[in-house]
Amino acid sequence: MVLEVVSNIMKFYDYLLRRTDIRVKDYPLMQSPVQMTAILFGYLFLVLYAGPRFMANRKPFQLTSAMIIYNFSMVALNAYIVYEFMMSGWATTYTWRCDLCDYSNSPEALRMVRVAWMFYFSKFIELMDTVFFVLRKKHSQITFLHIFHHSFMPWTWWWGITLAPAGGMGSFHAMVNAAVHVIMYFYYGLSAAGPRFQKFLWWKKYMTAIQLIQFVLVSVHISQYYFMEKCDYQVPLFIHLIWIYGTFFFVLFSNFWIQAYVRGKRLPKHSEKSSINGDATIIPNGKHLENGTMVNGNGIAQNGKVKEV
């Protein structure tokens, strides 16, 4: 029985290697699913076990400069990915309805293959989000939703660009996701930059709303497939998975919205609040700590000096 199971797994593995689109075989992390799966297991081990143990008896790292550079770099990367998706079809030849995978070697198809891989690879860079949380001991931010999203997304996208790298209608959700990440990392970058930018962060609540709009757009767009008289999209399994993905994450983020902003479970309790990726932390005695800066009712202490405000 065990030998039969192993044999079937190996047959499926060989099938995948044969089906891998030749245009992506030479890209990093595309030779087999083993590499990316090992990275993701290492990520889970690091952020759920090794990282917290390493930080248990250490003070949180500030990492202000690193976070500013990281977040604004991610803004630039995701903006470029959106542009490339647009120029690879979505703003040129696509109908925004039943757009098929292009398996040719045309310049536009190869451009779509390249940006699809860039989007996939960006998901591994985004694992740094959680690493920053661990090193800064922001344990409340390492939620099931956060871990699941960061580990599941790159794993599923390997299969997507293995079989359909020039994805047609199956790539819409990636373009929308990259656009949302431009906004998200811009917010994180401002947040990490310090108190002088806090007045520009009044729209934090709407970040979750933007995420919800993303999943609505993705689900509505992909749902067209079920109402068209005919659509010969080459890998219909991905259509079903994208619809499930959009709906599932809409439910998860809706629950977060309800808990945070309707029931108020993530709002300050006795003036105590911690926020995400660089935001301030407010503690009960009225002091305001942010990236090593202490603010109280009398002034701001920076590097040991008090400045009246």
Please, are residues 169 and 218 in contact by the beta-carbon 8 Å criterion? no
Q: Are 18 and 160 in contact (CB under 8 A)?
A: no
Alpha helix ranges (H) inside 126-204: 128-135, 144-163, 172-192
- What residues have CB less than 8 Å from 273, skipping those under 6 apart? 267, 280, 281, 282
Q: Which long-range contacts (CB under 8 A, 24 or more apart) does 253-256 make?
A: 253/145, 253/208, 253/211, 253/212, 253/215, 254/212, 256/145, 256/208
Among residues 139, 149, 173, 181, the one annotated as catalytic is 149
Instruction: Establish whether 139 is a catalytic residue.
Output: no
Catalytic residue numbers?
A: 149
